[in-house]
Amino acid sequence: MVPKKDTAVSSSSPYDDDLNGVADPRGSEQELGSSSSKSRRAFDRKSYSGALLFNFGAFLLPALYGTLSKLWVANIDSSMVVTTDVYTYIGVVTECINEGLPRAAWVIIGDKSSRSLSSRLSLSYTLIAFQAILGTILSIILLAAADKFADSFVPIEVRAASLKYVRISAFSALSSALETSVSACTRALDKPNVPLLISSVKFAINIILDLLLISKFHVGKAKPSVNEQAWIRLACDMASSIAGLLYFVYLSHRKRSSTTLPEQRAEKVHPSLKALGVLIRPGSITFAESAVRNALYLWLISGIVSLGSDYATAWGIFNTIRWGLVMVPVQSLEATSNAFVGHAWGKWRSEVGITTLNPKASRQDLLYITRPAFISLAIALAVEIPLCILLSTVGAYPYAMWLSNTPTVAKITTKMWRTIDWCYILTPHPHSSPPSSSRQDRDGISTNPSRRICCTFFRGRLSVKRRV
């Protein structure tokens, strides 16, 4: 992640002009979210607090829609609520590529002290183009393997009816890859308003179309289906991602046109293989880590799905609560701290000199670079600990009951919240196809010896029996 002699996309010239015209976050209390005599700075996206507000809105709207979509699908057919989790699991697969090169954006594109605006934009366009190609390839693979994907992640009770939903949702991999790459680039360029625009467009169009077509108050007398919800969601995801990309291109063109530096006007901005090479070096590490982690996660999820519809639905509700309520502040804080740590690292690296291949940082330098991360950590602990305690004690059951409208599912979800570590570690994985009822014991747990120990622990921790 240390800049080397990639002069095609990197420069040691003192380009302090970026998309916001602010170069040095060191020593600025405003940049790190401290109190300021000018209250308007708190809402400036160049400051920590302003960026946090933009990021919170950008993450809140999709989470809110994810919760509402569960309710609408439950009104259509409560047995098909578990089918909508296919969208989430496709997102987990896509996360492998979304946590590769986009993670490199924070220290590469976010380095506004050692890289010119034009080089950072070239890196951004390269990242977006490469991720769009990967997303397209992954979507085609998921479409071709829809049957096998459904076998692993859709309960047998609704598997046949869910195949079309899986095929429609396959192309959400493309929209997710495009949205994530645009969001990562623009946040690294101190433009969190672009991800907020993406989320706002997605949320607004989704709500309008869902109200018109699949809600209780939908237009017409025909009964809506869960596949209509999939088409609506895919269309809105693609439309919002493209809108965000076009807005980013517009902002970039306007900034370059208004710059007074002739060097930046002369530099060409376009995707290139050299820029891709700069991103691959740090991105390959995060890609490998993400691939291993998400593969293990999907391995565990397939085990939960094999236990039947109640358990699969409960896990989906669990994740809806987790990502819709608990993780929104964490994601917002993470995105904000990543951007400002990247800026601070770039400033320090520029001061040390990019020709120094093995720079050494003092303790003071490390504290300066990591200060935004510690601020985010403190805020996250202050918010998340009380929230998790509240959910575990009194909030999980009524919330799960509201989302699922099924007491059994709500009980399982509540138990998952209270034994979250066991749910992640001891969830069984099916070594064969999901068992038929003749191969299950009276509690619906497979009698396969290779899985029985894990199943016993899982059943004992949940202590909620399914109806067979």
What sign does the CA torsion over 449, 453, 454, 456 have?
positive
Query: Cα angle vertex 300, ends 297, 305, to 5°?
Result: 120
Domain total for the chain? 1
Question: Would you say residue 22 lies in a domain?
Answer: no
DSSP 322: I
Residue 37 lies in a domain: no
Longest dimension (CA), the chain: 77
The answer to whether position 6 is within a domain reads no
Answer whether residue 30 is part of any domain: no
Q: Give the per-residue pLDDT at 390.
A: 82
CA 350 – CA 353 distance, rounded (Å):
5
For the chain, which residues score pLDDT lower than 50? 1-2, 4-36, 421-468
* 312 falls within a domain: yes
Range of the domain at 231: 47-462
**Separation CA 86–CA 134 (nearest Å):** 20
Compute the distance between CA of residue 314 and CA of residue 464 in angstroms, rounded to an integer: 11
- pLDDT score of 100: 86
Residue 282 in any domain: the answer is yes
In a domain, 449, yes or no: yes
Nearest CA-CA partner of 77 in 205, 229, 208: 229
| SS3 category, 446 | strand
* pLDDT score for 154: 84
Helices 172-188, 85-98: inter-axial angle, 10-degree rounding: 50
The pLDDT assigned to 246 comes to 96
Residue 269, φ and ψ in degrees, nearest 5: -115, 110
276-280 contacts at long range (C-beta below 8 A, 24 or more positions apart): 276/126, 276/130, 277/6, 278/6, 278/9, 278/10, 278/108, 278/123, 279/101, 279/104, 279/105, 279/108, 279/123, 279/126, 279/127, 279/130, 280/101
Residue with tokens 């935004």: 372
**Residues 246, 229: Cα–Cα separation, whole Å:** 26
pLDDT at 173: 93
pLDDT attached to residue 26 = 44
Provide the 10 A C-beta neighbour count for residue 46.
20
Q: Measuring CA to CA, which residue among 409, 381, 383 is closest to residue 396?
A: 409
Residue 18: inside a domain: no
Q: Are 244 and 99 in contact (CB under 8 A)?
A: no
| CA distance linking residue 281 with residue 107, whole number of Å | 12
Looking at residue 457, its pLDDT comes to 36
Q: Is residue 179 helix, strand or coil?
A: helix
Helices (H), 145-192: 146-153, 159-169, 172-188
